[in-house]
Each structure stands twice: as structure tokens, then as C-alpha cells.
Amino acid sequence: MSEKEQPQELTKEELQKRREEITAFYKENIKHLKVQKEYEELLRDVEKARAERVQAQMFLAQAYAAGQESEDGMEESEASREFEAAMAENEGRRTLKRT
């Protein structure tokens, strides 16, 4: 066995110093990880908002298309009723936190 493969025995002082170095390393990285977590959460919120916007646009397009197809144009389409119900349901939901 070479010297690299043999476990090195550390004194109590060396062990304490090594623990302090490791703790400092983790504490420093926690700052960066918190920023990364916030970034990822914001990305998730943006993607969710985009998906909801596309869904609302699809509801509107379906309602408009159904309105164009109706003979008298006065009847409320099923898609339009579904859209109105979905919008009423979403009114009480939380919004994104503004900073």
C-alpha cells in the first residue's frame, strides 16, 4: 500500500479544524443554494402563469369559433360558459408575490 491509500490519523485539533472548514464551506454554499431555489421557484411560477394564459386563450378561441358558427350569434356557446366558469373559479386563487 502506498501512503495515499493508508488512512491518515488526525489529531483532535486537526479534526476540529477540518470540521470548521467543512461547516464554513456548507454555510457559504447555502447562500448560493437559497438564491438558486428562489430562481427555480420563480421560473416555475412563470411557466405556470404562461400555461394558464395559453389555456385562457384557447377557451376564448373556442368560444369565439363557436359564436361564429351559431346561426343567430346570440346563443352562449358551451365553451364560453366553461370559460366564464373557469375564470370565476380562478378569481379566489393566490397571485404571484411581488417584490
Model pTM? 0.48
Q: How many domains does the chain have?
A: 1
What is the extent of the structural domain holding 32?
12-90
41 lies in some domain: yes
Does 1 have pLDDT greater than 50? Answer: no
- Annotate 6-57 with DSSP letters as a single string: SPPP--HHHHHHHHHHHHHHHHHHHHHHHHHHHHHHHHHHHHHHHHHHHHHH
pLDDT in tens, 8-66: 788 889 999 999 999 999 999 999 999 999 999 999 999 999 999 999 999 999 888 87
Asked, for residue 79, whether it belongs to a domain, the answer is yes
Higher pLDDT, 90 or 26: 26
How many CB atoms lie under 10 A from the CB of residue 71? 6
